[in-house]
Amino acid sequence: MLSRLSLRQRLLLLALVSTVVVWIGAILLTYHGTRKEVNELLDAHLAQVASILSAQSMHELGEIEYSDIPALSPLSMTVAFQVWERGTGNGMELRLHSSNAPKFPLSKHEEGISDVVIDGKKWHVFSAWDTSHEVFMVQVAELASEREHVSDTIAYNLLLPLLLSLPLLAILLWVAVTRGLRPLDKLASDVEQREPDNLAALDASSAPREVIPLIERLNRLFTRIDASMQKERRFTADAAHELRTPVAAIKAQAQVAQAASGAAERIRAIDNAILGCDRATHLIDQLLTLARVDTLDRSMAELCQLRDIAAEAIAALAPAALEKGVQLELLAGDETVRGNPGLLRVLLRNLLDNSIRHTLPGTSVQVSIIHEPGAVCLSVSDNGPGIPEQELDKVLERFYRPLGTQASGSGLGLSIVKRIAEVHDATLQMQPASEGHGLRVTVCFKA
C-alpha cells in the first residue's frame, strides 16, 4: 500500500496516523482522568454536605419532631438526603429528609460510598454517623446520571479543542511536508529538464543535509557515465577508422582484379582481397571480444586449470606458429585460479597471437605458469623486437600500434588482455624477455 504512494503522501499519512494514535491515547487518558477527578470532587461535596447536616442535627433536630424539606428548584431533585436518629432498642427513626427521598434508608450501608437503585434510578449515596457515632446518621444521595452528565460535559469541553484542531494540524502538516520536500522537487525538476547528453554535476549547495549524499552519488554516476560515453565514442570512431582501411583495401584489390588483363594478375588481386577479408574478420572478432569483455558479469567465475587452458590455446595456434617457423613451449605447473575460463582462453590466445606475429622465424615463444607468494603468474615470452619503454603504456590503448611495426594486426590484442586482467582483478606487467630483447607479458592472479 505505502509503496504506491509518493514520498509526500507517505510522510503526511504517517504523521497524521501517528498524531491520531497519540491523540486517541491522550483523549482516553484525559477522559478517564477527568471522570475520576470529577467523581472524587462530587464525592467530596457529598461528604461535606453530610458533615454540615450532621453538625446541624446535633444542635437543632432535638426541637424538630419530623420534617419533610420541600424542593426549591428542579435541580434540587437530583440530590436527596435523610437524617436518621437512633431510637430505643437500636431502632432508627427518620427525623429529616428531602421531598424526593423515600421513607426507607437510601442505602443499607451506614458508612461510606455506595450505589443503589431506587424506582429504576441509580443513586450515588454517601452515609456517615455523627461525631459520637451513636445518635444521628446522615445519608446524602445524588443521581448517577447527573454525575455522568457533569463528567461527560467537562471532559467534552476539554477534548473539543483537540478534536477541532485536527483538521488544522493536517493542513499545517501538509504545508510543512510540502515545503520540506521542495528541494527534492527541485532536484527532480532539474534532472527531468536535462538534455540526455547533459552529464554536468548537480548543484548541492542549497540541498538539505540528507539529500547531499544522493546528489554526490548521482554526480559520481554522471562522471562514470560521461567517461564511459567518451570512451565508447572514441572506440566507435577508432573502430570505424580501422574498419575503413581493410574495406578500402578489399575494394581496391577487387577493382584491380576487375581491370586485370591476365590471369596471374587477377589471381594475385583476388588473393590480396581474401587476405584483406581475413584481416577485417580478425578485426571484427577482436571488436566483438572487447565488447563482450566490457559487459562481463564478474560473478560468473569458477576454478580454472591454467595448464589445460594454456595447452588448448597452444594447440589452437600451433598451425600459425608452424607456418611462420616459430616453436611454442609450455612450462607449467598444476596451478588453478578463479575466473572465467572462456575469457582466460581469449587472453592467452591474444598473447600468443601477438608473440607469433612479432617474433622472428626460427625462435620460440614460451608460456610459463609459476606460483609466487600470494599470486599465480602466467607469462608469455618471445624473441621479437620488443616494445620501447616509453611506449609500454600506449600499446595497451585500443588501436594503438607502435611506429615501424611490420607485423599485421588491429592494435586491440593487448587492450583485450588488459581488460580481461582487470575483470579478474589481476595485474599486467610488460618487460624485456632477456638481455633487453624480446617481450615478456606477465599476468598475475591472486592466489
What's the grid cell of residue 167? 483538521
How far apart CA 148 and CA 144 sit, in angstroms, is: 6
How would you write the pLDDT of the chain (447 residues) with one tens digit per residue? 555 667 777 788 888 888 888 888 887 887 788 778 877 777 787 777 777 776 666 555 555 554 555 554 555 567 787 788 776 666 777 777 777 777 788 887 778 888 888 888 888 888 888 776 677 788 888 888 887 887 778 778 877 887 788 788 888 888 888 887 787 777 778 777 878 777 888 877 777 777 788 888 888 888 888 877 777 776 666 566 556 766 777 788 788 788 877 888 888 888 878 877 877 776 677 667 666 665 555 566 678 888 888 888 888 888 888 888 888 888 877 788 888 787 788 888 888 888 888 788 888 888 888 888 888 888 888 887 767 666 666 666 655 555 445 445 555 667 777 887 887 788 888 887 776 677 888 888 887
**Dihedral angle at the C-alpha atoms of 200, 206, 212, 215, nearest 10 degrees?**
-20
Q: Which of 324, 329, 313, 322 is nearest to 365 (CA)?
A: 329
Question: Which domains are assigned to the chain?
Answer: 7-166 (no CATH), 196-295 (1.10.287), 298-446 (3.30.565.10)
For residues 272, 274, 278, 280, the Cα torsion angle rounded to the nearest 10 degrees is: 80
Q: Please give the C-alpha separations between residue 333 and each of 91, 305, 369, 394, in angstroms, as whole numbers.
A: 121, 10, 6, 32
Length of the chain: 447
pLDDT at 72: 47
Q: Give me the pLDDT at residue 392, please.
A: 60
